[in-house]
Amino acid sequence: MSKESLGNKIKRERQAKGLSLRKLAEKLEITAAYLVDIEKNRRIPTQELIQKLADLLDIPVADFQQFGSEIPKPVKEWFDENPVISKVFKLIQKSEAPEKAASDFEIFMKNPKSKQPILAIYESELQAIGEESISWNTETGGDLFGIWGEIPVIYLATKSGPNAVRDHAHFRLDVEYLIKLSINLDNDWGLRYFGDWHSHHRLRLQTPSGGDQRRIHQVARKNHFLEMAEMIITFSPSFDIDKKVQVNPYIYSEASSETPTEASLIILKGLSPVREAMMSASGFPEQRLSSYSTFPIEQIISPKEPLGRLQSVEGLPIDQIANRLLRRTVLELEKWSSEKVEEHKTKFGFILVTSMGRDECVGMAVDGKWPHQILQINWIDRKLGKTEELEMDLGNTTLVNITGLKELFYKIKELKEKK
């Protein structure tokens, strides 16, 4: 029998009191979707919310607090002094199998290579690298973009531009295209250029060459980058049979001068949120962003993963990507409505209010968790001080799906015009 969790306990007590999800959520002043996440242990309620739950369900708050994950003060202070360890701890907590993740990390720390720097990347971006690398019978490559935090995260691995130079022993980037891409990804998502990935199929090198290192040093000095990353791609020895691609990651800690250090990978499950959003918006068609899926992740050979495979949007700087997505959504709504959009932060996420006339508005309740699903839509009559929930099929409309969001907005507008 599995050990009871906080979410299971809350669900069992709610059902014992004959309360529906919606009814209890209303009493807690949160959305039903938020409560579902709590009961499924996808979110941890605040102490304030736990107290409200105990009061509403008429049970001692201690019954819930026994599941708490409060960290002792001395441990918190130690984490403050060791932020990378703190981040790793959070990643272990959020993994599907925390005990296995902790065990894997313990083995990793005992390994002589455990002092290697850590680099995180989404499965989709490894697939994109694999798909592009096997598409050429010459050396090829592309660019890496991400957020360089306590653990640097690669959110996008791109194909090179149309003027890249390839031959059987060398690859040179399309610099003008790289500049264009860098500006766009910085403005839209706050991503910076990390470095590049390129193949050494013919040379059979698994480490950056002297030329690779000189180029990284030059780019770092020119752009004042303190750290950069590079991935060297080779075919497996039995490539003709298994079609597998070997990924060899490196980090330049002092990018303008130091030699690269072999990195350990944290591989994040599934599709990068940036690739997902760019695919939805049909951006950069020359990148063929959806083609990554044609290359199975099982055909990637990567270094040992110190934490095992982790959930894709947990514990890493997804907040920055989410904030950029919110900004893009607000700008689109303002363009479609020709009106200023109000933003209101809530416990479950946020509400976007768009004017649809003199005193009438539409409020969209949006889940705060990626991919930010539209939870509910209300008419708001400010003159009368009334709100009315619109009965609409929201399906899986999210802020990521900009096309679906636009269709939803114009359906709402059509409803208003018929009233």
Residue 331 reports pLDDT greater than 80: yes
pLDDT cut 70: percent of the chain above it? 81
Which bin fits 352, alpha (ψ -120 to 50), beta or left (φ > 0)? Answer: beta
CA distance 147 to 61: 40
Could you tell me what percent of the chain has a pLDDT over 90? 20
Helix axis angle, 98-110 relative to 83-94, nearest 10°? 140
* pLDDT tens for each residue of 238-262: 888 888 999 999 999 887 777 888 9
Nearest Cα to Cα of residue 146 among 197, 101, 96, 218: 197
The C-alpha atoms of residue 233 and residue 139 are separated, in whole angstroms, by: 10
Query: Lowest mean pLDDT: which of 181-185, 273-277, 380-384?
Result: 380-384
The CATH number for 6-65, chosen from 3.20.20.10, 3.40.50.2300, 1.10.260.40, 3.90.1150.10, is 1.10.260.40
- Mean pLDDT confidence for 340-345: 90
Distance in angstroms (rounded) separating the CA atoms of residues 252 and 244:
26
> What fold, for 114-316?
Cytidine Deaminase; domain 2 (3.40.140)
Q: What is the pTM of this model?
A: 0.67
pLDDT tens by residue, 7-66: 888 888 998 888 888 889 888 888 777 788 788 776 667 777 888 888 888 888 778 767
Q: Beta strand 165-166 with 171-172: parallel, antiparallel or unpaired?
A: antiparallel
Domain boundaries, the chain: 6-65, 114-316, 320-418
157 and 140 in contact (C-beta within 8 Å)?
no
Q: Is 408 helix (H, G, I), strand (E, B) or coil?
A: helix
Beta strands at 245-252 and 192-199: parallel, antiparallel or unpaired = unpaired
**Token representation of residue 384:** 């009368």
pLDDT-derived band at 2 (thresholds 50, 70, 90) equals very low
